[in-house]
Amino acid sequence: MSSSEEWTTITRSKGQRKHSKMSICSAYDPLIAPAWGPDNIEDLDLTLEKLIANYHTQFRKWQDSRCRATLINSLERGRRRGDWKLTKAFCIGSGSFSRFNQTNNRRALLQFAAFVDVGNALDFLQDSEHAILTDTKSAGSSCSSSNPNPRIRFYAQDPAYTSLDKRFLEHLGIQYIHVPCNYSPHTPSLPLPNAEPFINTSTFLFEPFIERRRTTLRHLYARFPCLYIGTRIPDQLGQVPCSPREFFRISDVQLMFEEGLDKWVPEAEKMRVLPELRRRNEAAIRFAETRLPGRYFPRFEEETAVFEGLMVYWGPIEADEGEADAGEVPGVL
């Protein structure tokens, strides 16, 4: 697989401050994929047993952290106020877990462990309304055995997944969402191949730093996930300050170009689909505006450059004691 076939996953430098006003990347320019090198080649010596052991190591590190306790408590308050009815947990763009680059593998496994644990904890709390929050640790590190009657089903997708990664997902009870062999993230008409049916108002969506391409964000936001943990929604605090409406405000010509309707598509076909493209664009704006300002992901003190820069969104946002009003700065979990 060439580097052009993978989503760009953004990582954080050790100097990144938790409340920095820097956005993940430019709000307008797509990132350049990292150079393809030996670190990105699949590690053929890594076995499923070793990968599972590595995952459990990272899972224990996550579960024992103060960051985890802070996040779960905050999500439970939001769940009770918002009466969430979650049925799906979807991780998109986690990166591979089985390359030669051990640092990237460890980071991806730790982020994925957080995704699985949060999904299991929310499933546990939905099923046990009077549960003590600390009991959520018993939900387990996989999705197949933690709850005999789960309400939440787990899904994951990334073009970077190797055959070993897919076996690993199967072991955890997570359904891999197929990516076409000829997929490229720079194909405008397929920003999220086969993923959109699994993202809706009953979905917990976790995307750890995929690149901020406007087309991809439009398709993500327009699906209105109930709980969204991922890159910062475009706002006035970013590196390129702009409101969601400014970010998505483009001409019909540009909109059709970004969605893959180039000059070779018949004019009649463009006019037929244009209303749907406008509706999707407006839905993305509405989602972003009702989720801001969001909350910072809690500080993970055990390791740097893992969760720094992630934001937590659910909504519509209501002013809470100790949290920011909509339109102001993000709140702190």
CB proximity list for 171: less than 8 A, separation 6 or greater: 48, 52, 142
Asked if the structure places residue 79 within a domain, the reply is yes
With cut-offs at 50, 70 and 90, classify the pLDDT of residue 241: confident
Quick check: 137 pLDDT over 90? no
> Does pTM top 0.85 for this prediction?
no
Mean pLDDT of 243-271: 89
DSSP tag of 42: B
Asked if the structure places residue 22 within a domain, the reply is no
Mean pLDDT of 114-131: 84
Mean pLDDT rounded to a whole number for the chain: 80
Q: Report the length, in residues, of the chain.
A: 333
With cut-offs at 50, 70 and 90, classify the pLDDT of residue 86: very high
pLDDT of amino acid 320? 41
Range of the domain at 74: 48-132+149-314
Asked if the structure places residue 237 within a domain, the reply is yes
Q: Between vectors from CA 294 to CA 291 and to CA 296, what angle results, nearest 5°?
A: 155
pLDDT digits (tens, 9 = 90+) for 276-295: 999 999 999 999 999 998 99
pLDDT digits (tens, 9 = 90+) for 16-43: 434 333 333 333 333 333 444 555 688 9
Asked if the structure places residue 33 within a domain, the reply is no
Per the DSSP assignment, residues forming a β-bridge with 155 are: 90, 175
Least confident of 67-76, 102-111, 209-218: 209-218
Provide the edge-to-edge strand list for the sheet that holds 311-314: 175-176, 153-157, 88-92, 203-206, 227-230, 311-314, 295-296, 331-332
- Considering the chain, what percentage of its residues have pLDDT values greater than 90? 52
Q: Which range among 65-79, 126-140, 261-275 has the greatest average pLDDT?
A: 65-79
Amino acid at 56: H
Asked if the structure places residue 244 within a domain, the reply is yes
Asked if the structure places residue 184 within a domain, the reply is yes
Least confident of 64-73, 225-234, 249-258, 317-326: 317-326
Q: Which range among 79-83, 87-91, 157-161 has the greatest average pLDDT?
A: 87-91
Q: How far is residue 33's CA from residue 106's CA, in Å, rounded to a whole number?
A: 20
Tell how far CA 220 is from the center of its chain: 9
Nearest in space to 233 (alpha carbons), one of 217, 210, 256:
217
Per the DSSP assignment, residues forming a β-bridge with 89 are: 154, 204
Quick check: 272 pLDDT over 80? yes
DSSP string over 85-148: ---EEEEE----SSBS-HHHHHHHHHHHHHHHHHHHHHHHHHH-TT--GGGGGGG-SSSSSS-S
Quick check: 141 pLDDT over 80? no
With cut-offs at 50, 70 and 90, classify the pLDDT of residue 312: very high
Q: How far is residue 106's CA from residue 87's CA, in Å, rounded to a whole number?
A: 28
- Looking at the structure of the chain, the number of domains it has is 1
pLDDT of amino acid 36? 43
Quick check: 129 pLDDT over 80? no
Asked if the structure places residue 10 within a domain, the reply is no
Quick check: 15 pLDDT over 50? no
pLDDT of amino acid 239? 66
Quick check: 187 pLDDT over 50? yes
Quick check: 144 pLDDT over 50? no
Quick check: 257 pLDDT over 60? yes
CB 41 within 8 A of CB 278: no
Please state, in angstroms and as integers, the Cα–Cα distance from residue 62 to each residue in 41, 51, 79, 141, following that order: 27, 17, 21, 11
Asked if the structure places residue 221 within a domain, the reply is yes
Least confident of 88-92, 153-157, 170-174, 318-322: 318-322
DSSP string over 251-270: -HHHHHHHTT--TTS-HHHH
Least confident of 10-19, 136-145, 219-228: 10-19
